[in-house]
Amino acid sequence: MEKPSAKDYFLTVFIFAVCTLIGLLFQKLNFTDTNIVTIYILGVLLTSIVTDGYLCSVAGSFLSVFLFCFFLTEPRMSFQTYAVGYPVTFLIMLISSVLTGALAAKLKTHAKLVCSACFSYTEFCLIQTVCCKRQKERQRFLMLPVHSFFAY
């Protein structure tokens, strides 16, 4: 498991600051809370793609719930909510963002493993060229006209 760098932490904070600004804009445009929640989940996905390891995506998941609660629910600038359904929204938002972030980070890790275990790029291109030539030869062989010889 890779330890995130200072750059990864900065990117995480930056992505969620942008998500919060977009959320505030969406709220001014009278979008529903579900649209704003999806912006934060998108932020978690972006975080897991642009940073290394799971830590930033999981931290981003918690950060997204706290930012949504603090800036985008009534009363603003507090962690209290007046609506009865918000704790359920926060829980579902947290679970879905942790899952999507972890899955995206795992996919990125697997892609890196595959790239490191595979051939180098030049070897891959050479193999691909040979395979394409063989495929074209097979197709050419199959496309040859069939001649039938009749006795006259």
pLDDT in tens, the chain (152 residues): 668 889 999 999 999 999 999 999 999 999 998 899 999 989 988 998 888 878 888 888 899 999 998 998 888 888 877 777 888 888 888 898 888 888 888 888 888 777 776 655 556 666 667 666 666 666 665 555 555 555 54
**Cα 42 to Cα 100: distance, rounded to the nearest angstrom:** 9
Rama region for 30: left / alpha / beta (φ>0; ψ in -120 to 50; rest): left
Is 150 inside a domain boundary?
Answer: no
Is 137 inside a domain boundary?
Answer: yes
Is 22 inside a domain boundary?
Answer: yes
**Cα 93 to Cα 73: distance, rounded to the nearest angstrom:** 14
Range of the structural domain that residue 52 is part of: 6-142
Is 1 inside a domain boundary?
Answer: no
Question: What's the DSSP call for residue 57?
Answer: H
Is 25 inside a domain boundary?
Answer: yes
Count of domains observed in the chain: 1
Half-sphere exposure of 14 (CA within 13 A, CB side): 10
Put simply, whether the predicted model's pTM sits higher than 0.85 gets the answer: no
Is 114 inside a domain boundary?
Answer: yes
Dihedral of alpha carbons 146, 147, 149, 152, sign: positive
Is 148 inside a domain boundary?
Answer: no
Is 76 inside a domain boundary?
Answer: yes
**Cα 36 to Cα 23: distance, rounded to the nearest angstrom:** 5
Q: Quick one: angle between helices 33-50 and 6-28, nearest 10?
A: 160
Within 1-152, residue ranges assigned H as helices are 6-28, 33-50, 55-72, 86-117, 121-143
Please report, to the nearest 10 degrees, the dihedral formed by the alpha carbons of residues 81, 84, 90, 96 taken in order: -160
